[in-house]
Structure 1
Amino acid sequence: MTAARGFAAFPPQRAGARFATSWWGLAWVKAMEDTSLDQGLLRKGRAYAKTGQVGPITVSPGRIAAVTESEYDTVVRVEQLTDAAWERFLDQVAAKSGHIAALLDRDMPHDLVEAAEDAAVPLLPAVGDLEPECSCPDWGHPCKHAAALCYQVSWLLDADPFVLLLMRGRGEQELLEALQGRQAPKRPAAAAAAGVPAVEALAAGVPALPEPPPVEVAFAPPVLDPAPGVDVAALGVLIASAAWRAREVLLHGRLPELSEYQDRVRLAADHDLDLGLEAAVRAWRYGGAHGLEVLEHAWTPPRQDLARSQALLEAGWEGEQPPPLQAWRNRWTLGPLQLRYGRDGRWYPFTRIEGEWWPAGPPERDPAALVSG
């Protein structure tokens, strides 16, 4: 049976500290938050998690557990994968050597999770997949103690995706041993028994080394001679851009669809072109097409997204009064700082320069992290 893993209690965190930063940790938090029907309990759960109200955490197949607020037994149950599902997952991991290397480097590749989903193996939890239990009298689902436990577990998942796999039923050592068995080369039984006599092996000599692999040469734009009516520098930029796009298609199979204007901004951002698009270029460098959209267009996000962000912002000031907020559609203004909510679920910071709002940094999913920074 897979052994449980214990983790020391997290100390109190600074105001504005973020929870999940990895994409799989964010998926864990989203599954818990989307299940909740009470934003107030989530807000209290974040405060409990940040102020150290959760004791040491035990992670074992199908459950995470801790004593919260020094007296309540809190458990969150996660459905374990079946043996057949584990076999399909191991097939996906073994199919690509980079998957094993990524997991050992404490990374969870997007394509591995997608391949597992295609094989009907759900690694990441969805809405309703987490079942909280707590000895407290609160009837919330989850209560503030279970929410605090889930928020702290997102830190564990950030540091080690094997924690997620353990919750699904198997630990790191067990998985690595299973993968090693799959990768071991198989020889016919007769050949394994007979072997090769040492005299014959020595007589064969040292075989020649194979040819070295081809060297990948970075693309270099051709040297173009000046010609009447031709902007040679601009033509070189276009050639470099076309080569980059071709390389992306070969590596990833597709490119994002960009309008003519978006592509012009991308070119200016990638090649330091002076096209009079300074604010747009800065927005693109911070957030790509999403960053450009929040610079130029306002929209009305879903109410639940704004409510969740409001709770995150308030949780960043435990015991303190948050700064006054002026809200209009997807734009929140807090004095000299403005936060704009993008369709990608992230908040983009803006600062006022000579009466206009300019992109001020990379986006965050937690607006409190931008304000505190």
Structure 2
Amino acid sequence: MIRLVAGWIVWLWLLPLRLVLRVTQALLGKEGEGSRKKNESYAHMDHLALNAERPRTSWLNMGDWENTTHFPTACENLAVRLYEASGLKEGASILDVGHGSGDSLALLQRRYGPRSLQGVTSMPLHARLAQQRIDKETGETKTKIECDDAVAFVRRLSALEATRPRFDRIFALDCAYHFATRQRFLAASRRLLADSGRLALVDLVAAYPYPSSKDKDHYSFTASPSLPAPASSPSLLTHLRHHLTLRMAGVPAQNIVDVSTYASQLRQAGYTGDVRIVDISHVVFPGFSEFLSGLGMGEERAWRGGGPLQLWGLRQFGDVVKRWSKGGDGSTIRCVLVVACAS
């Protein structure tokens, strides 16, 4: 998700006129409130800015917004949903791919007590922060953090013979759609799993064609209970807008495949056990889009970090997620939870 958001912000930076208007409005504030306030010492001070606390987490995923409106809670909920769906138990050997600043690593270590925990992230700053987070956690878990491209890392490990590690679980929480490519990641991850191991992902797929009963002979699928499935293929305009979104967000178009194709790719990668795919769009997109739309607006201007450019870019991305959240023919993307058993 990091590159998904960052790509939007960089592209939107090329729209200076609209940005200047927004920033100018923010700087000018409300006018016409009278000259009385100009003479008051604290007229232009927002006390919220003085009471804002430093965030204690640095989560970055789209979140599971069922029963919450709080971003860090939603992010942790999505992680827990993934871990529980994978059947994670205490004492497992875990590889967490694309873990960002380490909140997921800390959660895994604290809540599930793994035997060993290895993480890989492509950003040096995130790797350092993650190592600091893990060092603060107590316990007997053997931990190791690597800074590397996720696909290159798992392919290099999988090429080892005598010293190749075997993991009970490999997690990719809201990140695999960025990989170059996801198919390479799936294949390399299979070679790193124990015979009873499982790969678990929160990922993005194409909304159309939506799975029907005749598609599900080689995997199990649970549809969203509330978002309508698309009845027809996207219009030309929707298709063009979809590919523009992918390009701006740095998502390889070949990664956004429909559910049935995704399941077939897992089979081709060597996952011979159960493959379960659950559409969780209804607990992800509506809450996430609403959260993004309110960033830096109203009272939030007093304490929300990130700067006006970043916040504006995130709000624009919120409009995209809002289209996804409605389902039906106008939505081109679904969020799914995937668990693939090695054998």
TM-score normalised according to structure 2 size? 0.24
Work out which of the two has the higher radius of gyration on C-alpha atoms and give 1 or 2: 1
Q: TM-score with structure 1 length normalisation? A: 0.22
Q: Which has the higher contact order (CA 8 A, sep 6+)?
A: 2
